[in-house]
A and B are shown apart, each in its own frame.
Chain A
Amino acid sequence: MLHIYCPYCGEHREESEFRPKGQAHILRPKDPDNCSDEVWADYLFFRDNPRGLHHEMWLHATGCRKYFNVTRDTVSYEILETYKMGEQPKITAQSRAAGGEK
């Protein structure tokens, strides 16, 4: 059982209150009519599946019903941080490699 910190409720809740919703920070192409099929297909269908650090969206389904972001290690399942929609992660593959926050 994971204990997940909801940045909107401001406290930890049990995993059963949440639903994972896939990769975070996916940007819709600004001009869909004029982007290549490859770019559009990448946006629609292709998702990262990294071994290690991953940024995901989670939904506080039986709580405040807000989406938020999670930085999670897919190997250890450890949740390194959670942050609100529209914010950027503090912990990234680069920051880890640079020996910053891990």
Chain B
Amino acid sequence: MSNVAVFDQNAGAGVLAESPLSHVSGRKGGSSPGVILREKAFMGYLTLRGNAADAAFCEGVEQVLGMPLPTAPMALHQNTQKGSSILWISPDEWLILLPGGTEYETELALRAELSGHFAVVNVSGGLTLLTVTGPDARHLLHKSTGYDVHPRNFPVGKGVTTTFAKATAIIRRPSETTWELVVRRSFADYCYRWLVDASREFGLDAEI
């Protein structure tokens, strides 16, 4: 239990929310696009910090999220029932992704469950997520990041924080065919335009 003043940052349906890509018009990629790009806007993001060697901390997180805390580097755990996931960011830091609107109750639940030296920060306003699918998704990534995205190095269930098009991004692989990019809000426009440019040779379908 932590005695910290928190508030629900989600203003609710009565207030117009704009994704950082609300201004782009998207584009159609013809009959067989090599790359399909979508934005999953308005998801909930919580940065979690704590001691992975503390059994009570690990159990508390698992209790709230319904999936174990990933302690192996770059491990991505998913709770498909809840539509949530948690990614190892560093030995004492994780990024929790949640369906939009559930981040506040999850933060409260974590605060109620955990004790001692830990931190939960709602960073939902600062990030957005792009999904990259299609037959040329991996070729697109080859052009965009120095990280080795070959399946032998990047299996399903992995996520890395690395450089992407000279910006920083989290690249996640939640399933065999889907890549996800978690980018900062202020870099979303730049990353989108990079992806449009880099996808030209493959054909891009981007309904943003």
Contact = CB atoms under 8 A, between A and B. Distances in A.
Contact of A11 (B73, B91, B161, B163): B73
Interface in B106-154: 146-147
B91 A17 contact: no
Interface size for chain A: under 10, 10 to 19, 20 to 34, or 35 or more residues?
A: 10 to 19
B147 to A, nearest CB: 7
A93 interface: no
A25 interface: no
Nearest to A65: B90
A9 interface: yes
Contacts of B147: 13-14
A64 B90 contact: yes
Nearest to B160: A63
Interface string A48-62: 000000000000001
Nearest to A15: B146
B46 interface: no
A16 interface: yes
Interface residues of B, number: 13
A19 to B, nearest CB: 12
Given A14-B146, A64-B90, A66-B90, A8 B163 contact: no
B89 A13 contact: no
Contacts of A64: 73, 89-91, 93, 161
Nearest to A84: B91
Given A14-B163, A16-B163, A62 B168 contact: yes
Contact of A62 (B74, B91, B161): B161
Interface of A: 8-11, 13-14, 16-17, 62-66
8 contacts: A14-B146, A16-B163, A17-B163, A62-B162, A62-B168, A63-B161, A64-B89, A64-B161
